[in-house]
Structure 1
Amino acid sequence: MGKYTLVKHFWMSCAHSVKGAGKCERVHGHNYKVTFCVEGTELDSSQMLIDFREVKHAIEKRYDHHLLNDFPEFDPEQGGAIPSTEKVAEVFFNHIKTLCESKTNRPQVKWVEVEETNEAYARYEE
């Protein structure tokens, strides 16, 4: 049996502040490049592993043009974590994982990369 791999990237603008990170403690923004990889052995009824637009819209709808620190998952006082690039990648991974688990063909997210600048990105995978 074969395996399908889907890799997609999209751009999203967000702001954050990272406590303990020098000048990055001040609120500032990024045009994040978000890249994700989903794998699986079965396609859905539309002959897709997953509709990558659905993944993109799920992340964008929640976070695009927002201050990440305002969300509980990025607020240590609410049980979240400081929105470092590493934690942003992990949170996005978990959103995509939940979406994949809701699909009848059960694709699996393999990794998510969040590129903060042209020189730096973080990858999260389980």
Structure 2
Amino acid sequence: MSVSPNWPRRSFHQGNARASRPWADRRDRISFFTLWTLKEAYVKARGVSLSLPVKKLELDLEVSPPIAHFGDEIDDDASRWAFRSLRLTDRHIVGIAAAMPDGELEIVPRRTRAINPSLHV
């Protein structure tokens, strides 16, 4: 992934400072991609473009499951959203965001296989 040095500062809330330095070490890279995939999942679940001010979406990754906090610029109620992150392999992280009118989000990972193995490096 090729990223401008200023991109993390524009995309992450100051509360997610550790994750905004993805190249420092392996743990920081995992935090970066975990945070980014969760933010991307939220944007996709809302059906809005990345014009949504993702910097105003703070996710607390220190608790499990992650808890969201939205800035005033995001017209939504953070308490209605459930976020989950799954590390499928050492190189693959999946972020899930689901609006939950009530109840809990339960995710049951299943074993998967590549559809086109020749395309995977």
TM-score normalised to structure 2 length = 0.30
TM-score normalised to structure 1 length = 0.29
Flag the structure with more relative contact order, 1 or 2, with Cα contacts below 8 A and sequence separation at least 6.
Answer: 1
Higher-strand-fraction structure:
1
